[in-house]
Amino acid sequence: MIDSSIFKNQKKILILYFILTIAIILIIYIILNKKNSHLYNDSDLYPDSETITLNLSDQKQIPWNISDVSTYVVETFSAAVHGSLISFSGTFKESTDNSVLFENYFCDGNSCYASLKKGVLFHNKREVNAYDVEFSFTRQLIHFRNDNFAKNILSDIIGIENLKKENLKYITVDSNTYPSGFIEGIKVKDRYNIIFNLNNENSHFFQKISSGYIPIVPIEELDSHYKKWKTFPIGFGKYRVVKADDKEFQYVIEKVNKNEDIPKYIRFIFDEKDIGDIKSCIGLSKKNENYDGHIIFPDIYENGGFLFNFKTELGSNKNFRKAISLALNRSGIAQTSPFGEFVPDDQMLPESGWQKNFRAEIPVKKRNLKKAKELLETIPESLWKDKTFHVHTFWTTNKDLNHEPYFIEIKKQLEEAGIHIIFHNTNMSYTRFTKNDQNVFWWTGFDTATSDPNSNFAFFRNESFFNNISPEDPHFEKLYQEATKSLSKSPIFTRNLSQYFTENNYMVIVFHLRKSLLYQKKRISSFGNQYSPIKILVWELKLNN
């Protein structure tokens, strides 16, 4: 006879085993969710249900820095926090949106006029006035003029090339004392009106000066040198800064108008790990377990290529630069991009959008390895043969560049011509040639942040932000002056400038690049109207419910 107690004991064991299995599964689930919920140490303050996290770069960056930071980082942050001088699209109504400052603006010949909206408030509740605009344009030039882009952005204004501190006077408005008169061509008429007198007509002037590199800021929130913020950056944009962690490089902004139907919080992070709801990428693999969505902006964001140190014998050698250009098969390099975001090109201006009308009407150079080798033979072998050139970079990825497919292809093609190079990942304390630098090459790119087609050529003039890349060529300067003087009349002068720049290989451009983003579909339902290739309009993003 079988003892029924055995079945009862077995049944109890099975029930206990089942309960234990369920408990283990629940524990694992709780641990994993706890781990995910604490991916950011501030998730209790800024919950996932109200927060979109943007991983803007592998490189650690402070988004309001005025140098040594990627353009789309500056422009994305500034558009959200500092607001804009003018609207670039029909995304919102300029007359009612207080994150756009100018109500009316126009140019008449060499003079440009702007009227400010009344009632636009900084996040500290003070009204923005015209003296804030003048101060914001000049503050970077008063104490640290050679360490920012302000001079290039404001290059059209009379007096920018002849700045003298003795011209400064001080004006007190609403208990704030402003430096005024530093740039001769800026005249504040009253609280709401400002005049810009230009060296030449420029129909793109207001688009050019509406830049994240020179945001409109309240003087009382900065230190005595107008460089560092007393607390957080303050603007008049749709978002205000509520957290800044410079050790972890995490920054959180919160919407100002609680009734506006936009994400409540935006978290900016800078991490080489594949985290964040949205991650900026260059040449990332198509297979990425953390992201199932991908978007490429249709317009060109920037180019990529080699700068040359004209203070070195090789960098200043025309045949050497031409040899480098002819050694490259640009189409072969562009084909290594996983999403087709690279477009082969050799000109500063892209062959798309409004800029197409200003580029030189010449074909993209094709590879000519035989000619490249012949040109190298005209140069003393002691300068280049059997040498390894160290190429430093300003490029927004922290992956080993020498293992990235497009850099592998560039190295291989140059080696076939006899030039051996090693790429170095971006070092944020060494982002351009130093004045006494002996390195010949630099890899970087220039963006399409402005609608002035001449703006990037200005970086190759004497005493620009970048050291040692000016060819000190009088004819180049002559063509640049003609292009800027005649911009509003005809594109032919910029075409001439572009052709001369390209044929002399003052920069060897390899490809143009479209902005590429990975994202999690379960988190992001829409990108909205992203009209600009050089910034993310964070208020246009939509979270999944």
**Could you give the CA distance from residue 218 to residue 135 in angstroms, rounded to a whole number?**
9
* Number of structural domains found in the chain: 3
Helix runs in 224-327, H state only: 318-326
For residues 244 and 226, membership in a common domain is answered with: no
For residues 228 and 241, membership in a common domain is answered with: no
Q: Is residue 107 part of a domain?
A: yes
Summarised one tens digit per residue, pLDDT across range 90-148 is 444 444 577 999 999 999 999 999 999 999 999 999 999 999 999 999 998 987 656 66
Name residues whose C-beta falls within 8 Å of residue 442's C-beta, 6 or more positions apart in sequence.
306, 307, 308, 309, 391, 392, 393, 394, 432, 433, 469
Q: Is residue 435 part of a domain?
A: yes
For residues 262 and 140, membership in a common domain is answered with: no
Contact 62, 70 (CB under 8 A): no
Q: What is the CATH number of the domain that holds 382?
A: 3.10.105.10
**Could you give the CA distance from residue 334 to residue 324 in angstroms, rounded to a whole number?**
17
Q: Is residue 14 part of a domain?
A: no
CB atoms within 10 A of CB 99: 22
Q: Is residue 20 part of a domain?
A: no
For residues 505 and 530, membership in a common domain is answered with: no
For residues 64 and 94, membership in a common domain is answered with: no
Q: Hey, CA dihedral for 365, 370, 372, 378, is it positive or negative? A: negative
Report helix, strand or coil for 144: coil
Contact 493, 510 (CB under 8 A): no
Query: Pick from 83, 206, 236, 225: which is nearest to 141 by CA?
Result: 225
For residues 497 and 529, membership in a common domain is answered with: no
Q: Is residue 13 part of a domain?
A: no
Q: Is residue 26 part of a domain?
A: no
Q: Is residue 32 part of a domain?
A: no
For residues 130 and 145, membership in a common domain is answered with: yes
pTM over 0.85: no
Contact 277, 526 (CB under 8 A): no
**Could you give the CA distance from residue 474 to residue 493 in angstroms, rounded to a whole number?**
16
- Can you state the angle between helices 474-485 and 492-503, rounded to 10 degrees? 160
For residues 489 and 342, membership in a common domain is answered with: yes
Q: Are strands 169-173 and 388-393 parallel, antiparallel or unpaired?
A: unpaired
For residues 332 and 469, membership in a common domain is answered with: yes
Name residues whose C-beta falls within 8 Å of residue 5's C-beta, 6 or more positions apart in sequence.
none
Q: Is residue 354 part of a domain?
A: yes
For residues 482 and 353, membership in a common domain is answered with: yes
For residues 464 and 538, membership in a common domain is answered with: no
pLDDT by residue for the chain (545 residues), tens digit each?
455 555 556 666 666 777 777 777 666 655 545 444 456 888 889 999 999 999 998 889 999 987 778 888 999 999 999 999 998 654 444 445 779 999 999 999 999 999 999 999 999 999 999 999 999 999 989 876 566 688 888 989 999 988 888 889 999 999 999 999 999 999 999 999 999 999 988 888 998 899 999 999 999 999 988 989 999 999 999 999 999 999 999 999 999 999 999 999 999 999 988 899 999 876 555 567 789 998 888 887 889 999 999 999 999 999 999 999 999 999 999 999 888 889 999 999 999 888 899 999 999 999 999 999 999 999 999 999 999 999 999 887 777 889 999 999 999 999 999 999 999 998 888 888 988 999 999 999 998 766 789 989 999 998 777 889 999 999 999 999 999 888 888 999 999 999 999 999 999 999 999 888 999 999 999 999 988 888 999 999 999 97
> In which domain, by residue range, is 343 found?
301-515
For residues 334 and 211, membership in a common domain is answered with: no
